[in-house]
Amino acid sequence: MSNIQSNAQEVIERLLSAYGVTTQRALAEALNVPSNNVSAWSQRNSVPGNAIIKCALDTGTDLHWLVKGELAEASFYDMEMPPQGKVLLDEICSSGGKKLLQRIMDAYGFTMQKQLCDLFHISSGTVSTWIRREFFPGDIVVACALDTKVSLRWLALGIGEKFDISEINNYSNLIPHGYLNSGAIEKVGFWKTDLTFLKVKLMEPFLLTKSSFNWIIDKGRKKISNGKWLLSIDSSLDIYDVILIPEGKIKINNRGGFYVCDVKKVDVVGKVIVSMDMDI
């Protein structure tokens, strides 16, 4: 929490820049707060999380840049005519309580409220008050978004996807991760790794897990060739060994059984670049 409370004046300057205003009065109007609030934040050296969240959602400015000044301004969501101003503020203020707490717990992967209490050094009574009063703990939401890299719009409002790929693109060492289950992919988060050891540059890397097997897949590669591929056949996904044969056909091997089909009968999802068996 200390990162949110420190250097309030610098945070205020970035809020001014994000809204494109030059005075504290104009910033207060943009944030829909009393005009003397901004100067009070500076004096207390503490900017409330609700104000930071509103600015990030209002303007599309990167949350990390607003709080820490580490990244250039960047849009992190793509949504037609998102709510702004007073409407957005009302949505934030009305989205607290139990559902917000569940999203925070989900973002951290916690199963017990005690884990959240221990992380932030708060009492269980405080959390109970959030639920009872439908309270929106803005500072906790900001810290959670920074910690877990979940979408701020999803976390604060319950809108959109849990992870926003345009936000994740700010972290070159994170790639999406999903589990292959019954022919479908369940997205579970992101994998922190360094892919510079590969000789090829991946256009759209993705980590896929099934049982003890893991594959690094480039979903940007669609032109099928000999090798291992993630394919959709009859709307069911799986990993296949592929051999090109004449007349626009391919020979497919899946769990020891070969069969031949027209290349146009399969949907190419991506090419397997690395295979890893973690059954050790």
Q: Which fold has domain 2-167?
A: 434 Repressor (Amino-terminal Domain) (1.10.260)
pTM: 0.47
Would you give the distance in Å from CA 223 to the centre of its chain? 29
Contacts of 259 (CB under 8 A, 6+ apart): 251, 252
Give the pLDDT band of residue 170 (cuts 50, 70, 90): very low
Which pLDDT score, from 0 to 100, does residue 229 have? 94
**pLDDT tens per residue, range 74-118:** 444 444 445 566 666 777 766 778 888 888 988 888 888 888 999
Q: Three-class SS of residue 164?
A: coil
Give the pLDDT band of residue 273 (cuts 50, 70, 90): very high
Pair of tokens at residue 241: 């060994």
Q: How far is CA 189 from CA 19, 148, 178, 265, in A?
A: 31, 9, 7, 31
Pair of tokens at residue 140: 């906790």
Indicate if 174-277 has the same CATH topology as 2-167.
no
Q: Three-class SS of residue 29?
A: helix
**pLDDT tens per residue, range 39-82:** 899 888 888 888 888 888 887 777 877 887 764 344 444 444 45
Choosing among 3.40.50.10310, 3.40.50.300, 2.40.50.100, 2.10.109.10, the CATH entry for 174-277 is 2.10.109.10
**pLDDT tens per residue, range 229-244:** 999 988 899 999 999 9
Q: Is 112 exposed, middle or buried (0-12, 13-18, 19+ CB in 10 A)?
A: exposed
Sorted by where each begins, the domain ranges of the chain are 2-167, 174-277
